[in-house]
A and B are shown apart, each in its own frame.
Chain A
Amino acid sequence: MRNLGFLLSLAAFAVLILAALLAPLIAPYLPSEPVHAPYAAPGDGGLLGADSLGRDMFSRILYGLRYTLGISLTVAVLAACAGVSLAFLAAFRRGWTDILLGRLVDAIMSVPQIIFALVVLAVAGVSLTTLILTMAVLEATLFYRVIRPVAADIVAMDYVEVARLRGEGLGWYLRREILPNAAPTLIAEFGIRIAYAVLFISGLSFLGVGVQPPAADLGGLVRENALAISVGQLSPLAPAACIALITLSVNGIVDWFIHKYSIRAELG
């Protein structure tokens, strides 16, 4: 059962990634060209109908996927690198490094994520770079919060002391002693953060501070077409379903990893 869920999730995620990568080849139309009648129903105008300007929804979703997946994966990777290395450093150095980093993270986390992002983007201006960096900083704090105690437990182990008695350098501690032992938590957390990044960028775009028109990610597509719901059109449901599919499939993959590692831990 768990394996079935994992395989389905993996298949769904693979299809989504492929669709995003091959968007220019698969998409029947350019995402910005009005090719159908406005609000054309599915069938009359392309696979999933058209939006208010008569642009092909299917093509727009394929291109939207590129934004959503591209941004969230980039954010998750950047946040993991920053959050995890700082967490390792804090756990290993302790003292002032730990206190200062901890309070800085607290300060950032004390402001609700979405408000923090809105303020920063309002000041710095919305571009792909500012968007990714802002999200990466916010997600990095969450990585830090989860990984630091894990790393602190590992640092307290005698085998880390054995490395200290040898006189190993910082790089050895972080890469060879701490990282391999924190890996299960790290992998699980990484998957969860991808899912949250997808929701985050979709939320920002829905609020209008994410990817800017005429380009649109999945959240932006939901926003553009939100009004259509009231006239009985189902077009915003397709990008929303895509968002759900991404988060569900990532969760399915993560669950499997967690289960696999927890069994391993039991077996020693």
Chain B
Amino acid sequence: MENTVLSIEGLCIDARAPILQDISLAVRAGEIFGVIGESGAGKSTLAMAMVGLLRAGCRRVAGKVTLSGQSLFDLSQPQLEQVRRRKVSYVAQSAAAAFNPFYRLGDQVTELAALELGTPAAERRKMAADLFRELQLPNPETFGARYPHQVSGGQLQRAMIAMALINNPDLIIFDEPTTALDVTTQLEVMRLIRKIVTARGCGAIYISHDLAVVAQLADRLMVLRHGKVIETGATRTLMETPQQDYTRALVANKTTTSPAVQARTAQPIIALRDFAAGYGGVSLVQDISLDLSAGHITCLVGESGSGKTTLARAIAGLVDVHGGTATFQGKPLVPRLEDRPRDARRRMQYIHQLPDLALNPRQTVREAIGRPLAFFAGVTGAAAEARLRQLMRDVELPEEFLDRYPGSLSGGQKQRICIARALAADPEVLICDEVTSALDPLVEESVIQLLLRLMQQRPLTLLFITHNLGLTRRFAHEVAVMQAGRIVEFAPAETIFAAPREAYTRTLLDATPVMERGWLEARL
């Protein structure tokens, strides 16, 4: 095809084991080609191969990568570098890590023009200002004078897209460019990406693990798993008639619904009134009034920095309480964790976001789960062993894992171990801080299903912190929406999703990508 900017034919890359096997694709000018896959699928290796890079230890076994008519792996190093400078750009996931904190944004964005063409400073400033305007950054004339830490995450991500446009590339590779962003910022960046590709007529690769995002942006899609292509096709065809089981599982409408659990008591298990908390003298959350109904799932949603985690940590006793009242089963909740009686600590368990950090790498699973048993209930020996095996069955892991160290478990398995450790204390309230956000979509789904099953088996109340509104919709009984340290809306889930009262709630809901066709177009 004449307007093909990138074609890959039969690409195989090995390290110790095969990483990519027989990958073929073609990207035309003016189209966005989506690559979707879970962690370890080979997405990043593929992205690097597109610019002729192989990571240390990787070897190209077969195949060809042709970019703008040149076969990358046949070029000499200087020729390859020239192609990279002139024909292709790369937008990385973390803009904060990609910018050098010591240089001004404008200089970094136009660095390539200075190096490649020797463009004088005044002209570069104008180029930068034009790009910043195109990307709808505030005050485009002066934006370039700022340093990376002086702008927001979304602005930094847009500045990186500006940098990618400086060489007017034939192809832009977007490697999870919105994964670290809030939904509202993500929507802005998605809109811009769509606009730029259309306006400039360049080709684009969009790599992500979030199907809803890719489905909105990409014209065609490739599903990658374990280094192999599962399925390729037009986005619409793939979404509506997936051919493979794996794709079907990804696309399938999530059917989770919250368990029909009635509140067991009329009283809320945890009640906050005018609650405020923070660090030092600064209150990060304030005016919080919130009731957690026993046996219910209450989701705490909001963008990063809205105070979700601070509020949850304050309830757990990890943050200084500055005012208001808090009760736990009708009795006052002691603010400081260290002052709480052991039984109060037992009844409320906290599960962290990153299981990698929450499990001591030098304790076996048996030690990790066994400790709360011994500590809270004094269960040891044969009785403990029976409980441990039961807990492993409860979280659907094989009993052999008891003797393993966390290092040999997958992310999803580790999070299950953390859940088992919390259950070992026989708690009444589980505080889950973004417990699934580090997991791949299908693994996330299985952990959610597990939590739901556990709630049917025992009297548990869940305070579930998340930024994933899609998940909240299927899962929550009540939803509290947080913004700037306050709860702006607290209502049953049906009410929030059907008739949100607050403008901010509506904005959040509106910005959450869904898989349905035409969603992004309606928001351009």
Contact = CB atoms under 8 A, between A and B. Distances in A.
Interface in B350-394: 350, 352, 354, 357-363, 371-372, 375-376
Nearest to A181: B362
Contact of B372 (A157, A166, A180, A183): A166
B407 interface: yes
A118 to B, nearest CB: 42
A181 B360 CA distance: 8
Contacts of A177: 360
B345 interface: yes
- Chain A interface size, under 10 / 10 to 19 / 20 to 34 / 35 or more: 10 to 19
Interface string B394-409: 0000000000000110
B337 A159 contact: no
Interface residues of B, number: 27
A150 to B, nearest CB: 14
A164 B317 CA distance: 10
A115 interface: no
A222 to B, nearest CB: 43
Given A267-B407, A268-B407, A268-B408, A165 B350 contact: yes
Interface string A52-76: 0000000000000000000000000
A181 B407 CA distance: 13
B186 to A, nearest CB: 26
Contacts of B271: none
Contacts of B316: 165
A176 B358 contact: no
Contacts of B421: 162
Contacts of B352: 158, 161-162
A171 interface: no
A183 B362 CA distance: 10
Interface in A162-184: 162, 164-168, 176-177, 180-181, 183
Given A158-B352, A161-B318, A268-B408, A168 B375 contact: yes
A166 B347 CA distance: 10
A81 to B, nearest CB: 20
A165 B345 contact: yes
Interface of B: 316-318, 337-338, 340, 342, 345, 349-350, 352, 354, 357-363, 371-372, 375-376, 407-408, 421, 425
18 contacts: A159-B357, A159-B358, A159-B359, A161-B318, A162-B358, A165-B316, A165-B337, A165-B345, A165-B349, A166-B345, A166-B371, A166-B375, A166-B376, A167-B340, A167-B342, A181-B361, A181-B362, A268-B408
Contact of B338 (A158, A162, A167, A268): A167
Interface of A: 157-159, 161-162, 164-168, 176-177, 180-181, 183, 267-268
B512 to A, nearest CB: 28
8 shortest interchain CB distances as A-B pairs: A180-B362, A268-B407, A158-B357, A158-B358, A159-B360, A158-B352, A167-B345, A157-B357
> What DSSP secondary structure best describes chain A's contact surface?
helix
A103 to B, nearest CB: 24
Contacts of B363: 176, 180
A162 B422 CA distance: 10
Contacts of B371: 166
Given A181-B362, A268-B407, 16 more contacts: A159-B357, A159-B358, A159-B359, A164-B318, A165-B316, A165-B350, A166-B345, A166-B425, A167-B338, A167-B345, A176-B363, A177-B360, A180-B360, A180-B362, A183-B362, A267-B407
A166 B408 CA distance: 25
A109 to B, nearest CB: 30
Contacts of B407: 267-268
A165 B418 CA distance: 13
Nearest to A180: B362
Contacts of A183: 362
Nearest to A157: B357
Contacts of A162: 350, 352, 358, 421
A88 to B, nearest CB: 15
A59 B25 CA distance: 79
Contacts of A168: 375
B346 to A, nearest CB: 8
A158 B337 contact: no
A167 B350 CA distance: 13
Name which of A159, A164, A180 has the most chain B CB atoms within 10 A of its CB: A159
